[in-house]
A and B are shown apart, each in its own frame.
Chain A
Amino acid sequence: MEKSNIFDSARDMASLIGLLPERNKRIKSASDAPAPFDHVRDLASKLHPRRLELVISSVNYETPTTKSFIMKSADGAAELPFFRAGQYLSLRSEVRGVSISRPYSISSSPNDAVDGGFYQITINKKDGGFFTQHVWEEWEVGTKLTSSGPCGFFYYDDLRDSNEIIALAGGSGITPFRAMAKDIIENDLDVKMTLLYGIRLADEIIFDRELQELAKQAPEKLSVHLVCSEPDEKWCGPTGFMSANCIRELAGDITGKTFFICGPQAMYEFLKKELATFNLQHKHIRREVFGEIGDVTVFDSFPKELADKTFDLTVNIAGRKHTIPAKATETVLVAMERASLAPPSQCRSGECGVCNSLLMSGDVFISPENDGRRLAHKKFGFFHPCSSYPVSDMEIKVMRS
């Protein structure tokens, strides 16, 4: 073939060039109106708003040391985002001039959010530290709060879980179970929940009457058992801690049932050993993350010889560099918050990744149970300050809020 005759077929070329008039015609004849309303984004923002502005509309005592806060939309919206019973809100408040957030389980039901336009959270004065104290002293009707949308993975799933669930609650860990119990009954879910609720003193029972009434209303869906560790003489129910024997006695046959656990760190540590005797499959134990670990030294892998140490933490945030003290027994996040550096955070349990930061030098301890990092983040030096404890001087880069 002659080189000059390579493209003897002009038609080949024409077929290609012919597409352009078609394209141009289609563009010219299209509408010049803005794109139609994006319904999918609307659905996404109703389910998962990037933030919520809430206002406290009422405050009720549940026990002498426990208050429930009813919160509505600050801009008067009639509905709040629907959610899955058991999820939490990350609420942000100014404490002594520093903006800090804490996760709180929603104790109201998903229907309440849509039909009643409110969320309820329930806080015990005895749990937690200065934030709880702040809540207790400062939050009142009219207080405005910034919140995340509902989040977290502690909820019943009909494709994953047995429809017979055993809920183990300790102290104010009862809050997500109130939401779940109400959800099961209000929406007539095909679920049977056996709730074992551990309390220390008889006057510490949160939602006592309410739970009993729910159980009376739908005994085939909910049964409630209170277990008191320090009973007075009037107490007539089960006593002690929630041991394996106690669970078997109250919950009956546990085979194939799904455990949901929410309570303080000490309860988890205790239950870990008790439940081990049942040889449960992983899938049958669902555990709510409980915020920061109160005492990191309980983990065998924590370097105990460092427990008294304080390290230099250099934080690069918003283009500035700060060097601050950081105790080995407090999370990197807490160290930053003490220094009025407030990076974004949400679950405070290593799970959600909102506080994801770059570890430029130095080392941290992360308890294996609270290490929610992705593999690639480990490889490229990212970590979650909310579940990481300094074990050397370190330099980090924190993302802007």
Chain B
Amino acid sequence: MAGKQNQSIDSSYDVVVIGGGNGGLGAALKLASKGVRTLLLEQHNVPGGFATSFVRGRFEFEASLHELSSIGPADRKGGVRKFLEDESQCDIEWLPVPEAYRLILYGEGLDITLPFGIEAFKDTIAQRVPGSREAIDEYFDFCIDVSDALEMMNRINKPPEKLLRDFTDFMKSSDKPAREIAENAKKMSRFLKTVPCTVDEVTKRFNLPDEAVKILYPYWCYLGIPMSRLSFTIWAAMLIDYMKYGAYVPRMRAQELANAMEARIRELGGHVEYNTMVERIIVRNGKVTGVETAAGDTIKTKQVICNASPTVAFNEMVYPKNEVPKIAYKYSNARKHGGSGFVLYLGLNKSPEELGIKDYGFFISKTMNTDDIYGSMNRLSNPDMQATICLNNAVPDCSPPGTTIISFTTLFMMDTWKDVKPRDYFKLKNSIASDIIDVFESSTGTRIRPHIEEIEVATPATFSRYGNTYGGGIYGYELDPWDAPITRILNMKNEQYIDGLTFAGGYSFIGHGFSSSILSGRAAGQIALKNLGGK
């Protein structure tokens, strides 16, 4: 093992993975486990990208993770857990998040805590909103069907352009009972019908009372585009995944997830090199031939998996410039960059019990009109909605006895920060942070300000500094129906502008978020494998 860890960078690899974020790690893990000669290059000296943590005083803060979907309990694993544990033997200790969320709409006097589990979730809404039972049941049945249809498509595991045709064949040749086939056909039909729809378009067809919709909608902020635009398919998949599998976090912050993947990549013979920023993806006649790093390495490869976005790759990395076809610029310009984050991290010198903080995840908002909230992300002041996490309520020993870790996330569109001057930066950070604290205190009745022992604030500039994403983005391209995962996958072949260049991570085809990014890495690894001749 030691021998493999010590090797210097060789002059050629089967696959070079650029960037050790969730997508890059997922890709390298998949490839290394198949014995492919893989080099992972990471600009920083730790793996993870935004899947990381940092220490201030007595506290180790979670940098960006709120909770992972697709993990599930050990006896009923979700897709991400299966990949990490069963396929890849990564050593991660998962802890369940106790409840779905507590929603506080302080402008409307709504304060409700929602449990995980489809039935329990539905029951809670039905109890709160009289007369909503039937509509809630129908809505969830519909979402479950769409989510099941997606899973069926995953199981077929064929190239995307053949997927639908194959599905028809699969169903036709199936020896399953007719009832099951009919049931599956209904699911497929519901899925297909709603692929072009936004969440609002579908939700409005169910007679859900307004209040029920408000209680249902808070997860939108994990995707970051208003429900009047968000693809219904991805929404249904996310909602049902959370309800079915619950949410989990690694005991030692997301850094444990990243380091577990990294350690496993090395054990499997993959090579990981840190402090190594890739400056160029060398392309000749439309085909990848290698990469060059800022440290002066030149590495030959025909397959690059890029954890950076197409925007960054086409604008800054592909070399020479004339190897970037015009259509590639159009492709990245056509898409809209999602939000960047603003996160306030507090280490408090009282325990959650002393403070009276009982919940893990809070969505606190003025309103649940997602267009209005999205609009507020374009102004340089505290946006309307915050997603707050009290880490101790999922990881009780995450901070010393008698203390609490709490973090508050809001989103900003990147242009909002474009005129901020360095001189005003620190003051601006604290002024927004102060407003966030005020909102939390007044809406929960919990006093936290006097107990701040450690404070840190991350802004779009912070995310730009550590992730080097365009505009400091933490979410990938926005998931309108025309740019939702299904559409991206169906058109993937047409959008392969440079042979041998595959994207992984939040800006690739499955969409953003930890679980999607990890799975996109796995999928990118599979594509590279296929390109290499199906090892």
Contact = CB atoms under 8 A, between A and B. Distances in A.
Given A22-B482, A35-B333, A40 B455 contact: no
Interface residues of B, number: 95
B168 A7 contact: yes
Interface string B5-18: 11111000000000
Interface string A2-43: 011011010111011011101110111111111100111101
A33 B174 CA distance: 50
A399 B178 contact: no
Given A32-B333, A40-B417, A282-B57, A375 B252 contact: yes
Contact of A319 (B7, B60, B256, B454): B7
Interface in A60-96: 81-82, 84
A281 interface: yes
A4 B6 contact: no
Given A15-B195, A16-B196, A43-B425, A375 B255 contact: yes
A9 to B, nearest CB: 6
A344 interface: yes
Contacts of B295: 400
Contacts of A380: 259-260, 262-263
Contacts of A159: 430, 433-434, 437, 449, 452, 455
Contact of A376 (B53, B327, B414): B53
Contact of B486 (A16, A34, A160): A16
Nearest to A82: B422
A256 to B, nearest CB: 9
Given A13-B192, A358-B5, A376-B255, A19 B481 contact: yes
A81 B422 contact: yes
Contacts, number: 237
Contact of B178 (A3, A16, A46, A379): A3
A118 to B, nearest CB: 16
B58 A15 contact: no
Interface string B341-369: 00000000100000000000000000000
A39 B470 CA distance: 9
Contacts of A31: 329-330, 333
B482 A44 contact: no
Given A353-B45, A379-B259, A27 B331 contact: yes
B455 A82 contact: no
A32 to B, nearest CB: 4
B460 interface: yes
A313 B246 CA distance: 47
B487 A33 contact: no
A380 to B, nearest CB: 4
Nearest to A34: B315
Interface in B150-182: 164, 168, 171-172, 174, 178, 181-182
Contacts of A399: 45, 274-275
Nearest to A49: B465
B278 to A, nearest CB: 14
Contact of A7 (B185, B273, B451): B185
Interface in A345-375: 351, 353-354, 356, 358, 360, 372-375
B189 interface: yes
B289 interface: no
Given A12-B193, A32-B326, A44 B331 contact: no
A360 B263 CA distance: 12
B30 interface: no
A188 interface: no
Contact of A401 (B2, B60, B178, B275): B275
Interface residues of A, number: 76
A84 B457 CA distance: 13
B497 to A, nearest CB: 11
A205 B54 CA distance: 37
Nearest to B231: A19
Given A24-B491, A283-B349, A401-B275, A375 B60 contact: yes
Given A160-B452, A377-B255, A44 B178 contact: no
Contacts of B192: 9, 12-13, 15-16
A381 to B, nearest CB: 8
Contacts of A28: 327, 330
A117 B256 CA distance: 41
Contacts of A351: 55
B340 interface: yes
A82 B460 contact: no
Contacts of B465: 44-45, 47-48
Nearest to B331: A27
Given A39-B417, A40-B418, A82-B423, A160 B453 contact: yes
Nearest to B42: A399
A7 B188 CA distance: 9
A35 B316 CA distance: 10
Given A1-B178, A282-B58, A19 B185 contact: no
A318 interface: yes
A153 interface: yes
B6 A397 contact: yes
A122 to B, nearest CB: 23
Interface string B243-266: 000000011110110111011000
A374 to B, nearest CB: 5
A356 B311 contact: no
B420 interface: yes
Interface string A168-193: 00000000000000000000000000
Nearest to A15: B196
Nearest to A28: B330
B330 A27 contact: yes
Interface string A44-56: 1111100000000
B219 to A, nearest CB: 23
A379 B256 contact: yes
Nearest to A33: B329
Interface string B53-87: 11111101000000000000000000000000000
Contacts of A29: 330, 334
A269 interface: no
B195 A354 contact: no
A31 B314 CA distance: 14
A28 B325 CA distance: 12
Contacts of A379: 252, 256, 259
Contacts of A13: 164, 192
Nearest to B7: A319
Nearest to A46: B422
B113 interface: no
A229 interface: no
A47 B460 CA distance: 12
Interface string A321-356: 100000000000000000000001000000101101
Contact of B329 (A34, A344, A376): A34
Contacts of B274: 399-400
Nearest to A399: B274
Contacts of A318: 8
A137 interface: no
A74 to B, nearest CB: 19
B460 A40 contact: yes
14 contacts: A12-B193, A16-B195, A19-B481, A24-B491, A28-B330, A39-B419, A43-B461, A159-B455, A160-B454, A283-B452, A372-B55, A376-B258, A380-B262, A397-B6
Interface of A: 1, 3-4, 6-7, 9, 11-13, 15-16, 18-20, 22-24, 26-35, 38-41, 43-48, 81-82, 84, 110, 114, 153, 157-160, 281-283, 316, 318-321, 344, 351, 353-354, 356, 358, 360, 372-377, 379-380, 382, 395, 397, 399-401
Q: Which 10 A-B residue pairs are closest in the complex by CB-CB distance?
A: A319-B8, A39-B418, A30-B334, A283-B453, A12-B192, A376-B255, A375-B252, A376-B256, A44-B464, A44-B461
Given A16-B164, A316-B5, 11 more contacts: A3-B181, A35-B311, A40-B461, A41-B468, A41-B472, A43-B420, A48-B461, A159-B433, A282-B58, A351-B55, A376-B260
